[in-house]
Amino acid sequence: MSRIDESLLTGIPPFRKLERSQIREILDLATVRRYEEGETIFEEGLAADRFFLLLDGYIRVTRNTPAGDQIIVLHIASGQLFGIAPALGRDTYPATATAAVESISLCWPRRHWHEFAEKYEGFATETYKVVGERMQGLHDQVVELATKAVEQRLASALLRMVNQSGRKTDQGIEIAFPVTRQNISEMTGTTLHTVSRLLSAWQKQGIVASTRRHIVVTQPHQLVLLSDAIA
Amino acid sequence: MSRIDESLLTGIPPFRKLERSQIREILDLATVRRYEEGETIFEEGLAADRFFLLLDGYIRVTRNTPAGDQIIVLHIASGQLFGIAPALGRDTYPATATAAVESISLCWPRRHWHEFAEKYEGFATETYKVVGERMQGLHDQVVELATKAVEQRLASALLRMVNQSGRKTDQGIEIAFPVTRQNISEMTGTTLHTVSRLLSAWQKQGIVASTRRHIVVTQPHQLVLLSDAIA
DNA sequence: TGCGCTCTTTGAGCAAAAGCAAACTCGGGT
DNA sequence: ACCCGAGTTTGCTTTTGCTCAAAGAGCGCA
């Protein structure tokens, strides 16, 4: 296995405050994994025996209902930790993680979690900060689902993706990973039909431009207005 | 101020593994506070300079939207920590806490958080376990709001309250704190009208018995069926 | 180059729940 | 004992967005 350069980790939250040598130690304990688009990384309910750091790509974290509905709880962008059930003392993963595009991650066996937390000053603190932010995001999502109409939720969902993975193009801001209408409906708790109708309408108004599995937001500002932003 | 007995804390999660003398130290740093029904304990967006442990009563944690909707994110029962923003490195509270009934809590200044976490083996771990559970709960709520119909959500909400605060009576299981139709609608993302209609219907079927601000579930099993339980 | 699969679009009817409006009731306080 | 206000119930109307159905389009692959 080729060694990974330390510079990959400097600057990303839980490692930000560490020495280069410490990062080296951590890296030497990591395994690199590559996932195809659509490949499952871990599944809801299975033993949480590893935690992950996404180096490249995008991950979708989903949950399934017995009724067969799937809903997308959050997206992970590169540089973020995921599958951190071990840090929260859970012994199974609470959700399923799937690669939205070809992705590369590091992973460590569960037991290293405590080791890192004790050995490296700031490691735990920084991670829990991430947890706090994610929790805040979940709160927002609950409020949104409980109070907003579908149109506003859809606008928010697009904005969230744009904020996390937006790539500037000459047309506007492009969402960097493939998304289907179905996917979006699973983020917003609606149907792919409704999503398709709304996107069509927005396309006519020049707010977005979408093709198959691909969305460019041309007028983010309009979406903000439509979303009736919470915060 | 009268000293609090150590036995109040033995057995509740973050203190479970501590010596009696350690609990004494922690208690001596705490302030006791009493809240009237309806009194606000802390507010969304304000500096998170304390964290709390509820000794007696029930707390409602809510968020407000700019549009003026309020939604109830979770209930805290006695023995639970709340307002733990400090543990997640957040410097403002992400939500508002209000006493649902007359309540008593302990609270500590923010800075003690790290002190406790370092000094007492297991304190942090146990707390993060609670965070993990709460996160799981939020996931559940998102899935529920996104996929279930109002009737199922209402059934789930009642069951959640019953599980957390159910008191057995000869009639059935009673929710231990006052709840209005309005409150329930704020937990389920619906209107008080819809809640009222459904409760009336269930009352006719003998599943629940409710009076003003007060609900007794007579046939929990029926509610489970209606809720199409996730887990 | 054409086939087939997956994804997308659009229409029409319908059901669930929101909005609106008004009456009723319980309980606490004067 | 009565009044007042918060909380609840209920009917009617309107709307939103889901369901069902079917056709159309892009893309990879042979």
Helix (H) or strand (E) holding B121: none
Q: Residue B61 falls within a domain, yes or no? A: yes
Predicted complex ipTM: 0.93
CA distance A176 to A191: 23
DSSP H stretches of helix in A10-122: 20-28, 112-119
Q: Which domain holds residue B56?
A: 6-144
Nearest to A135 among B88, B143, B186 (CB): B88
Checking if the pLDDT of B169 tops 60, the result is yes
Segment B33-57, tens digit of pLDDT? 999 999 999 999 999 999 999 999 9
Residue where one domain finishes, among candidates A99, A121, A144: A144
pLDDT at B79: 93
For residue A112, the distance in angstroms to the closest alpha carbon of chain B comes to 15
- Nucleic strand C within 7 A of Cβ B211: yes
Does residue B59 belong to any structural domain of this protein?
yes
A204 & A164 share domain? yes
Q: How far is A110 from chain B (nearest CA, A)?
A: 14
Q: Are residues A47 and A81 in the same domain?
A: yes
Answer yes or no: is A185 within a domain: yes
B212, two tokens: 């003003």
For residues B55 and B127, membership in a common domain is answered with yes
Residue A4, pLDDT > 80, answer no
Contact by Cβ (8 Å): B188, A146:
yes
Q: Spell out the alpha helix ranges (H) of chain A.
A: 20-28, 112-119, 123-147, 150-165, 181-188, 192-204, 220-227
Ranges A4-8, A14-18, A183-187, B161-165: which has the least confidence: A4-8
Asked, for residue A53, whether it belongs to a domain, the answer is yes
When pLDDT is cut at 50, 70 and 90, the band that residue A5 belongs to is confident
User: Does at least one atom of strand C sit less than 7 Å from the CB of B151?
Assistant: yes
Residue type, B167: R
B64 and B160 assigned to the same domain? no
Q: Which pLDDT value is given to residue A230?
A: 57
Task: Flag whether B132 is in a domain.
Answer: yes
Contact A142 B147 (CB under 8 A): no
CATH assignment of the domain containing A177: 1.10.10.10
Cα–Cα distance measured from residue A42 to residue B73, given in angstroms and rounded to the nearest whole number: 28
Footprint of strand D on the protein (CB under 7 A): A 149-151, 189-191, 193-194, 211-212; B 180-182, 192-193, 196-197, 199-200, 203, 210, 212-213
From B90, B109, B144, the end of a domain falls on B144
Question: For residue B84, what is the domain's CATH number?
Answer: 2.60.120.10
Q: Number of folded domains in chain A?
A: 2
Q: Quick check: B172 pLDDT over 90?
A: yes
The pLDDT score that the predictor gives to residue A1 is 52
According to the model, what pLDDT value does residue B17 have? 85
pLDDT band at B228 (very low <50, low <70, confident <90, very high): confident
Q: Are residues A128 and A166 both part of a single domain?
A: no
Asked if A182 CB < 7 A from strand C, the reply is yes
Between the ranges A16-20, B9-13, B69-73, where is the mean pLDDT highest?
Answer: B69-73
Shortest Cα distance, chain A CAs vs residue B94, angstroms: 7
| Integer Cα distance of B193 and B136 in angstroms | 30
- Token pair belonging to A169: 């193009």
Per-residue DSSP letter, B92? B
Residue B5 has pLDDT above 90, yes or no: no
Q: What is the mean pLDDT of chain B?
A: 93
pLDDT at B127: 92
Residues B180 and B132 in one domain: no
- Phi and psi angles of residue A75, each rounded to the nearest 5 degrees, phi first: -110, 145
Query: Within this chain, do residues A46 and A135 fall inside the same structural domain, yes or no?
Result: yes
The overall average pLDDT reported for chain A is 93
The answer to whether residue A159 is domain-embedded is: yes
CB contact under 8 Å between B135 and A131, yes or no, is: yes
Q: In this predicted model, what pLDDT tens digit does every residue of B177-224 receive, in sequence order?
A: 999 999 999 999 999 999 999 999 999 999 999 999 999 999 999 999
Please state, in angstroms and rounded to a whole number, the distance separating the CA atoms of residues B45 and B209: 38
Identity of the residue in A63, A94, A139 whose CB atom sits nearest the CB atom of B95: A139
- Kindly state whether residues A101 and A167 are assigned to the same domain: no
Q: Which chain A residues contact residue B88 at CB under 8 A?
A: 128-129, 131-132, 135
Interface of A with B (CB under 8 A): 63, 65-67, 69, 71, 73, 85, 87-90, 94-95, 124-126, 128-129, 131-132, 134-136, 138-139, 141-143, 145-147, 186, 188-189, 228-230
Which bases of chain C come closer than 7 Å to a protein CB?
7-12, 16-21, 26-27
Please tell me whether residue B87 adopts helix, strand or coil conformation: helix
Q: Is B32 a residue whose pLDDT tops 90? A: yes
* Cβ-based neighbour number of residue B187 at 10 Å: 25
Residue B60 has φ and ψ, to the nearest 5°, of: -105, 130
Q: Is the CB of A210 under 7 A from strand C?
A: yes
- Residue B38 C-alpha, separation from nearest chain A C-alpha, in angstroms: 21
Closest C-alpha to A63, from B46, B32, B137: B137
Domain membership of residue B1 (yes or no) is no
Contacts of A94 in chain B (CB under 8 A): 135-136, 139
Q: Which of B65, B142, B228 sits opposite A73 (nearest CB)?
A: B142
Q: Which of B95, B120, B144 is the last residue of a domain?
A: B144
- The pLDDT score that the predictor gives to residue A10 is 85
Share of chain A above pLDDT 70, in %: 98
Nearest chain B residue to A186 by CA distance is B146
Are A11 and A103 contained in the same domain? Answer: yes
Residue with tokens 């998304």: A179
At A116-162, the pLDDT tens digits run 998 998 899 999 999 999 999 999 999 999 999 999 999 999 999 99
List pLDDT tens digits, range A72-87. Answer: 999 999 999 999 999 9
- pLDDT value at position B10? 84
Q: Between B65, B89, B136, which is nearest A125 by CB?
A: B89
According to the model, what pLDDT value does residue B2 have?
56
3 state SS of A52: strand
Q: pLDDT value at position B16? A: 86
Looking at the structure, tell me whether residues B105 and B184 fall in a common domain. no
Stretch B91-117: mean pLDDT: 95
Judgement on whether residues B162 and B183 belong to the same structural domain of the protein: yes
Selecting from A132, A143, A145 the residue whose C-beta is nearest the C-beta of B63 gives A143
Is residue A196 within 8 A of residue A181, CB to CB? The reply is yes
Mean predicted confidence (pLDDT) in A98-120: 94
Chain A to chain B, count of Cβ pairs less than 8 Å apart? 110
CA A85, A91, A93, A94 dihedral sign is negative
Q: Is residue A1 part of a domain?
A: no
Could you tell me if A172 and A59 lie in one domain? no
Task: Band the pLDDT of B1: cuts 50, 70, 90.
Answer: low
**B138: helix, strand or coil:** helix
For the cut 60, the answer to whether the pLDDT of residue A2 exceeds it is no
